[in-house]
Amino acid sequence: MEQEPVRPRALLSVWDKRDIVPFGQGLADLGFELLSTGGTARVLREAGLTVLDVSEATGHPEIFDGRVKSLHPAIHGPLLARLEREDDATHLRELGYPPIQVVAVNLYPFAEAAAKNPPLEDTELLEMIDIGGPTLVRASAKNHRNVLIVVRPERYAEVLASLEDAGRPEVVGMDLRQALALEAFEQTSGYDTAIATTLHQRWTGAPESVEAVEEQAARFPSVIRVAATQHEMLRYGENAHQAAALFIDPASEGDASTLVGADVQGGKAMSYNNYADADACLRLCRSLSTDEWPEAPHACVIVKHANPCGAALGATQEEAFRQALASDSESAFGSIIAFNTPVTLATAEAIGGLFVEVVMAPAYDDDARDLLRSKSNRRLLTLASPGDRLAPLERRLVRKPIEGGWLMQTEEPPRLDVKDLSTVTSRQMDATDAASMRFAARVCEQVKSNAIVMVQGLATVGIGPGQTSRVEAVRIAGRRAGDRAKDCVLASDAFFPFPDGVEQAAAAGARLIVQPGGSIRDKEVIAAADALGVAMVFTGRRLFRH
């Protein structure tokens, strides 16, 4: 008498239970025995499906409050058995383990738990590290020739259709099997990266001293782990002939306070260049969103082609915008604008019909939003922020790809303390210059080198970005400032190698130059400043941005 063929099994164990019931129903209709754990088993049973608990299949109860459920040969034997090899197939039958040919698993949401505010305690966060799930996923993906591994609910319908078309699970084609396995390996890789990155940041912390480079370097990870999830394909890259996509760091998934997690309304979808420029704009706006200028809490930054063309702080938001725009109204055409406070109707009216690609802010007054959206191609990005004010830019590690590797460095907004500065000229700075110097340095640090920034009070009046010649950067800033350069404070991201830059600055109207110093010709540069009646301060801190 022939034995009744063994029913194939499908193991379903998911945190994200979207569509798991119709998937389980479809598998049951195709003759699969459903094997499951905990909450997934309960959801399936409540839907009227027959489910075999993993503990029944293993003959061993779950232990340690469910910490150990599926780590058993009765589960991993069928997952790793190479059924195309007779000895594996025979051994599996001798063990009495039916094959598991479909697995649907997704993992505890570690990244979401790590992003909670206030942060979870270590003990709570560590409980969100999935152990059995990644093991099931990796085993199934390794043996994808025999196991269909599904880690995304979006794949359920396709898998059911393929199983139905094939008639038998083992007939499902290799193209789908490999695609599913690749998604599985990508998921576990990203998951491990999120854990390692989060715990590195949490357990090593930020260096206490800005000056202690060796201490900062000691906090660098020994391995750079790069993993991100494709969020969307973009229309094209920097140019129309280049393909592009947006990827999201697993640690930032669902974080509405970040650029990639911001709420986007209006206009076309964000482009590659929009994101790149918005990142530069947001970085400077966060850098200015501090309590260092209590008399001017509202920040506005205008960026074009990754360089600021205007930045200002004001007692009101409208004042900050108007001053930032006045810095270079010509370049502001087609720009990106960021505000550190909710956009008001007065500001929206001031923006008026100006062609702006993107406006970013922590919130918008309803009437301001309506007015700004009246321009059909204008996008509004809302970044969730505590207290309706953009969070300041904190010290962090950043990386930059180069051919064959990565560069990594610390990045933080420059902080100038007047008591640490050195006035090197006969003419001294005015008592009122400290705030302007700090503001100028903060903006200068975000301008591509060679960079020159001219400011009046807490607003830029001329910016010379990205020049191979420092004296040419001074010329550009002075030309853009025009008459507003008279008696301005000028900041340079690096030292002046020759007196000609100082001479050009004085000709434009600068009365105070703030620079790092450190040139072999510092004495000549100082002498030129003295001869021209210009005050000069050395900060000892270079601000290159390449």
Phi-psi region of 81 (alpha: psi -120 to 50; beta: other; left: phi over 0): beta
On whether the CB atoms of residues 529 and 487 are closer than 8 A, the answer is no
305 included as an active-site residue: yes
72 included as an active-site residue: no
Residue 434: CB partners within 8 Å, gap ≥ 6? 418
User: Counting Cβ atoms within 10 Å, is residue 471 exposed (0-12), middle (13-18) or buried (19+)?
Assistant: buried
On whether the CB atoms of residues 197 and 251 are closer than 8 A, the answer is yes
On whether the CB atoms of residues 181 and 105 are closer than 8 A, the answer is no
32 by DSSP, 3-state: which?
coil
DSSP assignment of 393-409 equals PPPEEEEEEETTEEEEE
Q: Which residue shows structure tokens 């010509």?
A: 330
Phi, psi values for residue 445, rounded to 5°? -65, -25
What is the rounded distance in angstroms from the CA atom of residue 64 to the CA atom of residue 62?
7
**How would you classify the pairing of strands 335-339 and 356-361?**
parallel
What is the rounded distance in angstroms from the CA atom of residue 217 to the CA atom of residue 202?
16
Angle between helices 470-481 and 499-508 (to 10 degrees): 0
**How would you classify the pairing of strands 452-456 and 307-314?**
unpaired
492 by DSSP, 3-state: which?
strand
What is the rounded distance in angstroms from the CA atom of residue 530 to the CA atom of residue 507?
14
Nearest to 324, CA basis, from 455, 415, 476, 139? 455
Quote the DSSP letter at residue 118: S
What is the rounded distance in angstroms from the CA atom of residue 201 to the CA atom of residue 43?
37
Residue among 60, 72, 142, 200 flagged as catalytic: 142
Q: Which residues pair with 462 in a beta bridge?
A: 454
On whether the CB atoms of residues 360 and 381 are closer than 8 A, the answer is yes
Residue type, 369: R
Catalytic center residues = 142, 305
